[in-house]
Amino acid sequence: MFFAAALSGTIAWFGSGHDAPRPVLSVAAMLGLIGLAVRMQRVPGLSGPGPAGMAIVPWGVIVNPDVEPWVLRWPAVRGVRVQVEHEMQGGTPVVLDTRVTIAGPRGLLVGRAPGALGLEDLTVNLKAYRDEATRGVAVDLEGDLTLDVTEPVVGELLQRAHELLRTSRGAALLALPPGGYRSAASIAATPETTSILRRILAAQPDGEADARPLAAILAALVGARGLMRELYALVNAPHPVVAAVARAAALRLGAPQRRAGAIDEVAAFLFEEDREGLERWVAAAAIEREPCDELVLARASVG
């Protein structure tokens, strides 16, 4: 769920008239590119001659000087102003171009793109994006225990999810059948489990910690394929950890990448350790499914 759905499926690219830089292009390929060949004024503190490129993505802003991208997450964006220039054509107002000014820690980023970019809601909802993106990540379903997102969190989330599924307390919280020692791979979601996780995934967190990443991991571990809609709704969430984990969980459950999106598309906003951890987690599920597929084929050939 991208907060208020204001930027869902939207990316704006402010470039110098050449091909988009590779870190931006991978995001643009999924979300749809808007605007090309736009000049941006010099950004204080950035080296390199000529204009830089700027991209607005669901997780913040990417500025690309001549060397390597500079990532500006929503909490670092102090203000956004969108100005649209019109002209009358046959008595009808037509948008000529859009000018976007972003106030960041290094000064103003100013870009111009032809046509309308549809970013006006960003100016209204910026505080909401900042609030969501600054929340810690919960390692319990109640949202009481928080991980600091200034450090890698995925390893701890995966460990806590597996631990929760092995305890009687976790079974009670998730309405799972009680039992002795169980592995996460052997646990299947009940209708009540799916309902509990759906409430967490669909809720807009209002506290200091966001329990949706943990719920997304649990959904994948218990095979709750009925929660695909809720996971899809989170793949462009303003919080990059929420978005990346939702993508990974959907992929583990068998979602096509064209629907779930790639983890790599959020990579610029993640710790490398978190990105690698999620990719290994998704890859492990594919390996686990392979022997089952071979067994089904073998049985079919015998029958």
* Total domains present in the chain: 2
pLDDT tens digits for range 73-105: 999 999 998 888 877 777 777 777 888 888 988
Answer whether 263's CB lies under 8 Å from 275's CB: yes
Whether residues 158 and 271 share a domain: the answer is: yes
95-122 core/surface letters (b: 16 or more CB in 10 A; e: else): eebbbbebebeeebbbbbbeebbebeeb
pLDDT category of residue 25 using cuts at 50, 70 and 90: very low
Q: What are phi and psi of 149, to 5 degrees?
A: -80, 5
* 283 touches 290 (CB < 8 A): no
Residue 302, in any domain of the structure: no
Q: What global pTM score does this model have? A: 0.78
Q: pLDDT tens digits, residue range 146-189?
A: 998 889 999 999 999 999 998 888 889 999 876 555 555 568 88
Report how far residue 91's alpha carbon sits from residue 107's, in angstroms, rounded to the nearest whole number.
39
Q: Which of 133, 157, 176 is the last residue of a domain?
A: 133
Structure tokens at 156: 């701890």
Contact 1, 235 (CB under 8 A): no
Same domain, 89 and 203: no
Domain boundary among 133, 166, 194: 133
Angle CA 129–249–9, to nearest 5: 40
**Rounded to 10 degrees, what is the CA torsion of 178, 179, 184, 189?**
-30
Q: Are residues 28 and 129 in the same domain?
A: yes
Bin 111: left if φ > 0, else alpha if -120 < ψ < 50, else beta.
Answer: beta
Would 299 be classed as within a structural domain? no
108 and 171 fall within a common domain? no
For 261, the domain range is: 136-294
Position 228 scores a pLDDT of 97
Task: Give the lowest-confidence range in 60-69, 118-127, 144-153, 191-200.
Answer: 60-69
